[in-house]
């Protein structure tokens, strides 16, 4: 039972003092049979009252406002979590029966939300992969693992070439990106094969063994496997998720699971910095300064802030 101590600090710095900011945080780890929270403390500039609620996907979400004038906003999350080993699925049910079971739940809640197609001009190329004769001969478990391996082997992990606003088409053309890009690509491929798939945000804590995303916020995918349930697949590292991953939230995509987002009055530019420290029981802490992902947005003076702009685009 590994025990991890995680500090996740988010810092917003404003070009000039702002006021009346409203923020949403998804920094509360999921609690279930595989993940227990020993301690969790939040420190936020101004000590605001944080109201929590459960969203549609049963994630814990915090909401707070800071009505006072401030030139910075710091959100410090300190967490101690204990994880458990997962039992791995076994393919003891006939292949056709498994695919039939997936077909039966195609239009059922909550699976329908994790099968929604996404606009993607490279779909014909993806379909050549997912509809190949080799793919059709595999069980859902075998195919899910194979597609995760495909993303790992055909896309280069490279920080700084994409942002949260980079489209899947751009990632496909670049053939590179970071964990959230790898996760979004695998989501598309799994959903095209009728396997429900959901996005997961959290941390990977592999005790300095060189895995991509180590000591940082991380993203991966959970695929629904018949007669097993949700199986975590990490295409960034080409592994099945076990007790070295800590889950914060699940959803359809990154926008459902963003750790921190918010808005404020005024047109002041802002600068975002995120850092994560992971401490291992009986060991030292390591610190990783994250690249500008999910957001690193200096805004034009005339433009609204990034979250407000995002909401306007969604409404349009």
Domain regions of the chain by residue span: 3-83+258-315, 95-256
Helical spans, DSSP H, in the chain: 95-104, 123-130, 133-136, 140-154, 168-174, 179-192, 254-257, 306-315
Helix (H) or strand (E) segment spanning residue 202: strand 197-204
Report the alpha-carbon distance of residue 172 to residue 154 in Å, rounded. 10
Rounded to an integer, the average pLDDT of 45-61 is: 95
The CATH code that applies to domain 3-83+258-315 is 2.60.40.2250
Listed residue (247, 243, 223) closest to 235, CA to CA: 223
Give pLDDT tens digits for 288-316: 444 443 333 333 333 445 444 444 444 33
| The residue count for the chain | 316
Helix, strand, coil shares, percent, the chain, to 5: 25, 35, 40
Domains 3-83+258-315 and 95-256 alike in fold: no
260-265 and 217-225: which strand pairing?
A: unpaired
**Residue-level pLDDT at 302:** 37
pLDDT score, position 35: 95
Its pTM stands at 0.86
- Domain 95-256 CATH (choose: 3.60.20.40, 3.10.620.30, 3.90.1580.10, 2.60.120.620): 3.10.620.30
What is the average pLDDT across 70-94?
91
Question: Please, which pLDDT band fits residue 121 given cuts at 50, 70 and 90?
Answer: confident
């Amino acid at each position: 039972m590994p025990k991890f101590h995680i500090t996740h600090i988010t810092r917003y710095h404003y070009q000039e003092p702002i006021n009346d900011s409203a923020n949403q945080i998804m920094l509360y780890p999921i609690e279930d049979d595989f993940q227990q929270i020993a301690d969790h403390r939040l420190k936020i500039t101004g000590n605001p009252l944080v109201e929590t609620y459960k969203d549609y996907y049963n994630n814990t979400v915090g909401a707070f406002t800071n009505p006072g004038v401030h030139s910075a906003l710091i959100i410090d999350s300190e967490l101690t979590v204990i994880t458990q080993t997962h039992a791995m699925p076994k393919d003891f049910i006939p292949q056709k029966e498994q695919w039939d079971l997936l077909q039966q739940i195609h239009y059922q809640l909550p699976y329908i939300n994790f099968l929604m197609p996404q606009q993607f001009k490279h779909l014909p190329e993806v379909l050549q992969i997912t509809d190949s004769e080799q793919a059709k001969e595999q069980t859902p478990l075998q195919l899910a693992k194979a597609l995760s391996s495909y993303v790992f082997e055909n896309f280069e992990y490279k920080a700084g070439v994409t942002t949260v606003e980079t489209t899947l088409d751009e990632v496909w053309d670049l053939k590179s990106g970071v964990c959230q890009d790898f996760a979004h690509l695998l989501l598309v491929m799994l959903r095209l094969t009728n396997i429900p798939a959901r996005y997961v945000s959290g941390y990977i804590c592999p005790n300095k063994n060189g895995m991509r995303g180590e000591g940082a916020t991380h993203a991966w995918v959970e695929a629904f496997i018949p007669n097993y349930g949700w199986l975590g697949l990490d295409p960034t590292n080409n592994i099945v998720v076990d007790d070295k991953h800590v889950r914060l939230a699940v959803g359809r995509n990154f926008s459902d699971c963003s750790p921190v987002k918010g808005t404020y009055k005024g047109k002041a530019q802002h600068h975002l910095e995120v850092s994560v420290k992971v401490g291992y029981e009986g060991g030292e802490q390591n610190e990783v300064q994250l690249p500008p992902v999910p957001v690193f947005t200096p805004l034009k003076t005339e433009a609204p802030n990034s979250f407000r702009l995002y909401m306007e685009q969604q409404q349009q």
